[in-house]
Chain A
Amino acid sequence: MPSIDNLNEIQQMIAVIFGVLVLASVLFWTMGKFNSGPQVQELKTRTKSWWVMAAIFTTAAVVHPAVSFFAFGFLSFAALRELSSISKNTRPEDRSVIFWAYLAVPVQYYIAYMGWFAPFLIFIPVFMFTWIPFVLVLKGHTQDIARSMSVIPTHLMLTVFSISHLAYLLSLPELPQFNAGGRGLLLFVVFLTEMNDVFQFTWGKLLGRHKIIEKVSPNKTWEGFIGGLLSTIATAFFLRFLTPFNEFQVLGAGLLIACSGFVGDIIVSAVKRDFGLKDTGTAIKGHGGILDRIDSLAISSPFFFYYTYLLCYS
């Protein structure tokens, strides 16, 4: 049997992910034997969805890159569809324009797959931000048009532009002395972002006293945030074999992921509250499903991408 040192970085990381999941499953299962309150149930369902997520992400990360691009593209598409469906801010006549927004998904992912960096940067922020208002104008209904002009491209930013950075990590050129490559970076940012959510949740439950923004997200506390931040930075330090960073840079990456993940989380929380999906404190089952899963990733992945790009690839 190969020892963990003989495995390459990606295999090590996958072993870590599934190790954590097995540990969590056993822990919550045992907790459920002694105490079957709603909180343990919540933890159990969360772990279940983590298993599914982990299986999808690791499969996508180890098989042929084209499959990963397809998987991330579908994730973006499903998130965009969800956001367009729950949004109160588009008009019924915007259907055909929303169709254009959907068409941007394969284009953006094709550009990412080909590794065309400048088109990747400008396609949504420059081109789609012009094209969507333009086709809206051609339809000729000016009542509330400014709202649609700003909302539809913003949906694209939040669900397509952001997540496509995860895929672009796989198109980054190879660096000498760095074996894990884009797949390593991908596993690093996804794992840390999700672990940051878990750390924040756990520290908040253990020590949480002082609420940060009660009106948006009543479960977010300073104790949870800072505990999560420190835990994430520590985890990042141990996982630096997945990155081309030195010891200091990897701490910075951990800090960046923890902060941007938190920002993404509360932005999506606030959006969902606005759409009336969070009034009771718990999201309606079957709604906000995908957005809930990618909220922190939507912000942390572009931030992490440019941090890495500017430090190591430019």
Chain B
Amino acid sequence: MHRIVLFVVYRMLMGPLLRILLGIKWKGAYRELKQQKQFIIVANHNSHIDTMALMSSLSFWQLKYTHPVAAATYFGKKKWLGWLTRFFVNTILIKRSHEGTGPKALDVLQKYISKGHSLIIFPEGSRGEPEKLQAFHKGIGVLLEQNPQIPFVPVWITGTGKILPKGALLTVPFEASLTFGVAQFTKAKEVQDIVEEVKNAILNLNATFIP
């Protein structure tokens, strides 16, 4: 049931809407992504549109087992909002590191990975100033260090910060694009190096233009 709801929402409604009305283009290895069994999508973050567009890139079989990771303080503020994002966006809500007690965020994510699920992670942590890359948090490095058998898929997103920037409600059509890299395994061994590697993989997609 959940699988069908997600399929209808993302593949039948959101995907065509983003393409036709908002003018978002999919570039690079986005078709190859659909063949992957388990992966961690790593992307830069400008807008809520990013999550919608990445979810729309997934296949019927992947949707239910792929979770965008979001901050509990933002989406979990109200109970109904938390439920909605969990059901319709399939998110895992985690606590930011400096906030209170409870299970550690990385342990939660690790549990999902051990079950064979995939993740969508924005290592910048939150949507920053549009079109400016912020420092990456080290969580992605820890996850990939603990799970070197899982490939990461770098995605460079540009333009979505104009469509729906942080703090705005009005969605305005502008051309934007998602450039997908191929799924790859980390070569680095140290957490900090892995973070650097992932960051460079994303930035390289920006530099090497893929039609």
User: Which residues of A are at the interface with B, using a C-beta cutoff of 8 A?
Assistant: 77-78, 81-82, 84-86, 92, 95-96, 98-99, 102, 284-286
A96-B172 CB under 8 A given contacts A81-B23, A85-B23: yes
User: What's the least CB distance linking A230 to chain B, in Å?
Assistant: 37
What are 15 contact pairs spanning A and B, CB under 8 A?
A77-B173, A78-B23, A84-B174, A85-B159, A85-B162, A86-B175, A92-B162, A95-B165, A95-B168, A96-B172, A99-B170, A99-B172, A284-B209, A285-B211, A286-B27
A95-B173 CB under 8 A given contacts A78-B23, A81-B23, A284-B209: no
Task: Give the interface SS of chain A, mostly helix, strand, loop or mixed.
Answer: helix
Report chain A residues within 8 Å CB of B211: 285-286
Report chain B residues within 8 Å CB of A285: 211
A102-B170 CB under 8 A given contacts A81-B23, A85-B159, A92-B162: no
Q: Which residue of A lies closest to B177 (CB)?
A: A286
Number of A-B contacts (CB under 8 A): 36
Q: Which residue of B lies closest to A85 (CB)?
A: B175
Report chain B residues within 8 Å CB of A102: 172-173
Report chain A residues within 8 Å CB of B25: 286
Report chain B residues within 8 Å CB of A85: 23, 159, 162, 174-175
User: What's the least CB distance linking B34 to chain A, in Å?
Assistant: 21
User: What's the least CB distance linking A81 to chain B, in Å?
Assistant: 5
Contact B175 A95 (CB under 8 A): no
Q: Is B130 an interface residue (CB 8 A)?
A: yes
- For window 154-211 of chain B, which residues contact chain A by CB distance below 8 Å? 159, 162, 165, 168, 170, 172-175, 177, 209, 211
Compute how far the CA of A78 lies from the CA of B174 in the bound complex, rounded to whole angstroms: 9
Compute how far the CA of A84 lies from the CA of B175 in the bound complex, rounded to whole angstroms: 9
User: What's the least CB distance linking B209 to chain A, in Å?
Assistant: 7
Q: B172 is contacted by which of A86, A95, A286 (Cβ under 8 Å)?
A: A95
Compute how far the CA of A99 lies from the CA of B21 in the bound complex, rounded to whole angstroms: 13
Compute how far the CA of A196 lies from the CA of B20 in the bound complex, rounded to whole angstroms: 30
Report chain B residues within 8 Å CB of A284: 209
Compute how far the CA of A15 lies from the CA of B175 in the bound complex, rounded to whole angstroms: 36
Compute how far the CA of A77 lies from the CA of B174 in the bound complex, rounded to whole angstroms: 11
Compute how far the CA of A286 lies from the CA of B24 in the bound complex, rounded to whole angstroms: 11
Report chain A residues within 8 Å CB of B174: 81, 84-85
Report chain A residues within 8 Å CB of B175: 81-82, 85-86
User: What's the least CB distance linking B160 to chain A, in Å?
Assistant: 12
- For window 18-37 of chain B, which residues contact chain A by CB distance below 8 Å? 23, 25, 27
Report chain A residues within 8 Å CB of B130: 92
Report chain B residues within 8 Å CB of A96: 170, 172
User: What's the least CB distance linking B28 to chain A, in Å?
Assistant: 12
